[in-house]
Structure 1
Amino acid sequence: MQTEKVIDHIVNWLKDYATNANVNGFVIGISGGIDSAVTSILCAKTGLDVWCIEMPIHQPPSHVSRGQEHIQQLQSRFPNVKKVLVDLTPVFEEFKTEVSLDGKQATVDMALANTRARLRMTTLYYHAGLHGLLVAGTGNKVEDFGVGFYTKYGDGGVDLSPIADLMKSEVYAIANALGVIDAIINAAPSDGLFGDDRTDEDQIGASYPELEWAMTMKENGKTADDFKGRQQEVFKLFSRLNAVNKHKMVPIPVCEIPKNLKYA
């Protein structure tokens, strides 16, 4: 990958899109992870307004400190970066008092995790509307188009996706070129939606290098029968997640009414 040229291409794409949309810049949720760090720097390099929003909901202290350190570094480098802290923990706790928490614990936990992501999406769009900004997505290609590892209408609810054509390894390459802080580069990827230290690999069952490999193999027309052992296991896992999460990756299905029924 021609890293510097890819960086320039994304920055120009972001600036052109925002200019054509007649908006002032971008709003981004900062999680303390690699994807939001890279995306926020790319947006900052456009010279347009960039609002970095921290939205903790029972976040592990390590996530919070990494996010804060990143924003401090970002503001020291770019005068167009602003920061906002919105503590959504009270909102989340109040929501829990108004809904039923009955059911299998794992199901309830997942529903609440997705609720966290959707509260954050609502917060980002509030600030976007307030300041004339676009919500910049932070999903990479493996998450967005491989295993669907994001919340529909949560972190998947965005206006544009600057790094969604980059594999996770390519995001890391860009992060190094952009000078992302070591604490973020060295941290295990985690969505932080459960309030504990579980990683993306813990949730998915495979590492990002394994998922990238499986995605590439599938794109090349391979099947599970072409592999054995761990490779076959990972390929099957990727294929299953890709299938069950396909509803996140395709347009909303519309029931089209036959013209002879509408205009008879």
Structure 2
Amino acid sequence: MNAKDTLFCKKTTLNCGGRLVLLQQPAVMGILNLTPDSFYAGSRLSSTEEALQKAGKMLADGATFLDVGGYSTRPNAPEVTEQEELDRVLPIIQALAKEFPEALLSVDTFRAKVAEAAVQHGAHLINDVSGGTLDEAMFETAGRLGVPYILMHMRGTPQTMTSLTEYGNGLVEELVSFFAERITQLRGAGVKDILLDPGFGFAKNVEQNYELLRRLRELQLFELPLLIGLSRKSMTYKPLQVGPQEALTGTIVANTLALLNGADILRVHDVKEAVHTIEIVKKTVTA
């Protein structure tokens, strides 16, 4: 099997609300942050009108998915109540579903009740940063709703994860064990479409993030789509001694490496640049 087959001809499909989505080449997921304290100030949205405008631009720039989140998961983020999270995400999801019926909407939450309400209001996927560790009802909920589930690796909570970066058995080895156990549980709960997210920046320091990026292809053993979220994270700017606002170059380079190592979906703040990155990498692989 050549590089073209492994990178851009995967016969992976997702059932999103009755629509069959083909991931024969990498796709882009645009981030819509409905939080006042997201780590990247340029991504914060404060109104429905602003969210619709941003979503429209992302879709025009080539996004396949839009990921809507109302709980900041940056390190040491403050707690947000379930009701506050619902109040943030539901009106936006409902408005997006009405304004852009062709868009595939993902809800970024670790709470089963928020996930269920979001799907009822128009979301098509659940993006759970906790991998089901923070709400024991999540897997059953995802199975019952019949929606694709993004399984991410994280330790602890956003408030504690920075202190949980010791991996005695090896970082990638733990991810493989974590995913194997959780995939079995998800299958048992009736979840048919599972995507894996290794959780860059979640209970992982900068050096560990780069180890994970180098070894990303080892996660192909599960034969499941890989969603990669590197956009403007500390690993893309700390080595350059800049901040998130200046991290676009680092993000593009990191996304390129992720694509070359098997990424199927890039979750990003900057959609056009990610789409261009995919097109250039595609040219080099298929040349």
Structure 1 or 2: more strand by fraction: 2
Structure 1 or 2: more helix by fraction: 1
Structure with higher Rg: it is: 1
